[in-house]
Amino acid sequence: MNYFQLFNLPATFELDLTELGSRYLQLQRRFHPDQHSAGSERDRLLAVQQTANINDAYYSLKQPLLRAEHLLALRGLKISHEQRSFTDPVFLMQQMELREQLAEISQSADPDAIINSIERELQQQKNQLLQQLANALETKSAEQDQLAADLIRKLKFFFKLQSELELIEQQLQD
């Protein structure tokens, strides 16, 4: 299923999320199972299925990494659910250093300062990689699609580190 077609949006990485939200609500009103309660059992089941598809599509298009993966899948490059290791030594060293910093937060005299520092670094890295991803996806070529796939893989690490940092921060507050 092409999620962009479902919402009648251009198949691009840069999306107007407000427009996506508006179209989501329109589709939800149109296909909500309550609208088909007087219909046949088949019509009700189709409405439930269509609503589930709309919800999945909305969630995917709303999230930058899932949207990028969907774009690549539409271009014939499926990377969702893959397990792949990195060979980029600079990236791997950066990840190890960030993980060490996360591990040291709880023993720090000023954990808030370390958390803020790591948050800034993660946000900077994510923004930089997201911009590179947008540029790679703009150019529709096999080479750029492979670059986009590598950028998505790297971004997943940063998003995961962000989640881990938020968990550590929450644990420190409790």
Tell me the per-residue pLDDT of 97-142, one tens digit each, with 9 for 90 and over. 999 999 999 888 999 999 999 999 999 999 999 999 999 999 989 9
CATH number belonging to domain 3-62:
1.10.287.110
pTM: 0.86
* Mean pLDDT score across all residues of the chain: 91
Percent of the chain surpassing pLDDT 90: 74
Residue 48 above 90 pLDDT? no
Comma-separated ranges of CATH 1.10.287.110 domains in the chain: 3-62
Q: Is the pLDDT of residue 69 over 80?
A: yes
Q: Comparing 151 with 86, which gets the higher pLDDT?
A: 151
pLDDT band at residue 34 under the 50/70/90 scheme: confident
Q: Residue 84 pLDDT > 80, yes or no?
A: no
Q: What is the pLDDT at residue 36?
A: 67
* pLDDT for res 74: 96
Is 10 a residue whose pLDDT tops 70? yes
Side-chain half-sphere exposure of 63, counting CA atoms within 13 A = 13
From the options 3.30.70, 1.25.40, 1.10.20, 1.20.1280, give the CATH code of 89-173.
1.20.1280
Residues 6+ apart with CB under 8 A from 74: 2, 4, 11
Short-list 52, 81, 53, CA closest to 66: 81
Delimit the CATH 1.20.1280 region(s) of the chain. 89-173
- pLDDT given at position 170: 92
Q: How confident is the model at residue 85 (pLDDT cuts 50, 70, 90)?
A: low
